[in-house]
Chains A and B, each alone.
Chain A
Amino acid sequence: MSESFFSDATKQWQALMQQSAGPWSELLRAGAQSPDAFEQWSSAFRKESTPAETIERFMQGARDYVAFMQSTLGAAGAGQDGMSAWLEPLKRAFASQGMAGAMFNQPFAKLWPAQHAPGVNPFAATMPFNLPAQPANLQELKSWLSLPAFGLLREHQERQQKAAVAWVEYQEQAVRHNEQMLKAARRGFELFEGKLAEREQPGRQIESLRALYDLWVDAAEEGYAEVALSEEYREAYGALVNAQMRMRAQVQQEIERVSADLGMPTRGEIDSIGQRLQALRREVRGLRGGDALVDEIAELRSELDALVRNTVREALGEKTDVPRPATPRKRATPGRARAAEPGAKRAATKKKAAPRRAAAAVAPGGFATRIAQFADASLGGKRKARKPEAAPAKAKRAKTKQ
């Protein structure tokens, strides 16, 4: 959206406000319905290309809230006294199908069309959510769709009928789900009345439209939660999602066939390649022995380095280091990874390795001793050769420090 668009829209809104604020106040006090200036103004944005999602959400929330305020205030201005002046319009709105009524009548169903957002339900354009369809009509339609097919194209016709039945069944479940939403709305209003009754005590009374709205939200959410956590809703929700998936699957199958006819790669083929690729990667890791083996070798190399270093230092009479536990190793490729190696195998590898290293370190005349001898030889007799049995003790201490 361009900057000038925003500027124009704001000016338009301000002009509407100027035109309507004065007379509207009078109208409100006279109990008439307020002009829906906000609705007119905000409709300008719907004509533009896709607005930012946040702005759209903000606008939707604001539209509903302003509608709530206007209808409540308008009805209250009709001259009724006391609480009924506020509550009656809410009740009327609850019973009606109007703009404000939608908030109370079907607030959750109204929010549910969000499921038609791109990526959530790509077939939304062909499926208006608030269907006038009656379950009885849908049943009749289904019975027509189950007629047998004949001839050359019978297979095609059968598939298309199956897809159509899936579509009808989804509508049935949508109707069922809407009934649950209506139930939640009714329960919310019952709770709202209860909450209002609690506010009759001095100091707890509601003194602003915003407080009234917030109280309604609390009640609506509680009513919704009761329904949404019920066993009945669990069934309805599961049936709705499953029906939608069956319908989508049918449509996808048709698209697969058409794509294949046109010589295009299909999603099924790509999925198949992806599945094989993942399986192959796991197998390659397994054949390599997995990262566990590579780690083990790196660890052994690291400890060997440390042993050599320490032995040389001991031979020089210097303080020794604690052997390094592991050295970062360079990977051949970034994508190389550990095999899905069974735990038992990995554990066994470690168990075997540990005694081998210990033996190398402590055995008289073993690896460490030979390294010490090598170091002595390398130093050309500058230092006095240590006794062979001294090395194991040092190695043991180093091991303990780990």
Chain B
Amino acid sequence: MEAIKIDPAKALDEVLATQRKLSVALDTLHKMDDVDFGVTAKEEIWREDKVVVYRFRGERAPTAKVPILIVYALVNRPYMVDLQDDRSLVKNLLAQGEDVYLIDWGYPDGADRWLTLDDYINGYIARAVDAVARHRRVRKINVLGICQGGAFSLCFAAMHPERVQNLITMVTPVDFQTPDNMLSNWVQKLDVDLFVDTLGNVPADLMNLCYLMLKPVRLNQQKYIGLVDILDNKVEMENFMRMEKWIFDSPDQAGEAFRQFLKDFYQGNKLIKGGLKIGDREVHLGNVTMPVLNVFAEQDHLVPPAASRVLADHVGTKDYTQIAFRGGHIGIYVSGRAQREVPAAIHDWLAARAR
């Protein structure tokens, strides 16, 4: 039996059909409006330099007494959590009665080149947490860290456990040297000092190139060939373009913070091996004694599940829960299943600890 059983006549039809679709492709793309994003109403409650904390407004008043502060990664824009009306972690959390705040890091420029991880974690995050606590007149708040923001949140919670009621981490790397971590493999032999000294801030295009090269054919070619199938579907095309915008709308990385993140987290793996210092403070995950919910994605090509799962072995809390989500690094926010499962799981977990 042959593996390929393609009828030549049908194959020719397939080629011609593809070419016909392509012939109208540019007209379709040209007629598309600019996509918008960030659908949920929000108000600014705190600002410092380029960093802004927003509070989202749901259709009804929050019922949760303790607010959630979302700490997103520096490497992408945080509107992924509120991408569009039917794909919004924020909107679904609000619908559950949660009170949701978010740190928007902005776009660092040359003036931010010397910002360190200490400035970010013991500075901006600490003050953002204070701002939210004051805004809601509570002593502690819930922190929800995402990806790199999850690693920052872990550091913050370890250094300031008295200020975090509950900690939620999503697709968060903890062990930065698992064998399936391609990014980690690539940076092990990098001369990070030379890299940052030369580049200053790390350009977003360079970061994006690295991400694309994790799955080069799929992300650079197959994805766009798949676009042919949805060219006649305006909604699908808008969804695609919105995602495309998010992927490439990336901030440059503040040089000094990037230097330390690569050296201490990726090359030193100090978050779990020990010896990590942020400013003058040592970070010990054993000090993370508040309840922890760790959500990771089983098909995550950026943060392999093993890199997150290991958190269970290192935190000091006796109240640790983890959820393995069937999906990828982005799907955990935007897939249909994610809309149903993730916000509800977070809310239920928090509600159980609010009693």
Contacts and interface: CB of A to CB of B under 8 A. Distances in A.
B3 A326 contact: no
Contacts of B195: 241-242, 245
Given A10-B24, A28-B12, A326-B139, A340 B216 contact: no
B134 A329 contact: yes
Contact of A249 (B182, B198, B248): B198
B134 A242 contact: no
Interface in A26-63: 28-29, 37-38, 52-55, 57-58, 60-62
Contacts of A175: none
B16 interface: yes
Interface residues of B, number: 90
A7 B179 CA distance: 51
A213 to B, nearest CB: 8
B241 A327 contact: no
Contacts of B194: 242, 245-246, 249
Interface in A335-389: 335-338, 340, 342-343
A129 interface: no
Nearest to B135: A328
Contacts of A239: 189
A13 B218 contact: no
Contacts of A324: 137
Nearest to B255: A271
A119 B115 CA distance: 21
B205 A58 contact: no
Contacts of A61: 220-225, 227
Interface in B303-330: none
B77 interface: no
B203 A120 contact: yes
Contacts of A325: 137-139
Interface string A283-310: 0000000010001000000000000000
A66 interface: yes
A217 interface: yes
Contact of A25 (B12, B221, B279): B12
B4 interface: yes
Interface string B214-233: 11111011111101100000
A66 B19 CA distance: 8
Given A69-B15, A274-B113, A87 B186 contact: no
Contacts, number: 268
B3 A197 contact: yes
B4 A206 contact: yes
Contact of A10 (B26, B190, B200): B26
A327 B134 CA distance: 6
B222 A212 contact: no
Nearest to A302: B137
B1 interface: yes
B185 interface: yes
Contacts of B29: 52, 54-55, 58
Contacts of B122: 338, 340
A317 interface: no
A200 interface: yes
Nearest to A252: B198
Contacts of A111: 212-213, 216-217, 220-221
A228 B3 CA distance: 29
B59 interface: no
Contacts of B206: 115, 119-120
A326 B133 contact: yes
B159 A343 contact: yes
Contacts of A198: 3
A300 to B, nearest CB: 14
B217 A212 contact: no
Contacts of B190: 238, 241-242
Interface stretch (A76-84, A92-100, A138-146, A393-401): A76-84
A318 interface: no
Contacts of A238: 186-191
B51 to A, nearest CB: 10
A265 interface: no
Interface string A189-203: 000000011111110
Interface of A: 1, 3, 6-7, 9-10, 13-14, 17, 21, 25, 28-29, 37-38, 52-55, 57-58, 60-62, 64-66, 69-70, 73, 76-77, 82-83, 85-87, 107-108, 111-112, 114-115, 117-120, 196-202, 204-210, 212-214, 217, 220-221, 224-225, 228-230, 233-235, 237-239, 241-242, 245-246, 248-249, 252, 267, 270-271, 274-275, 277-279, 282, 291, 295, 324-329, 334-338, 340, 342-343, 402
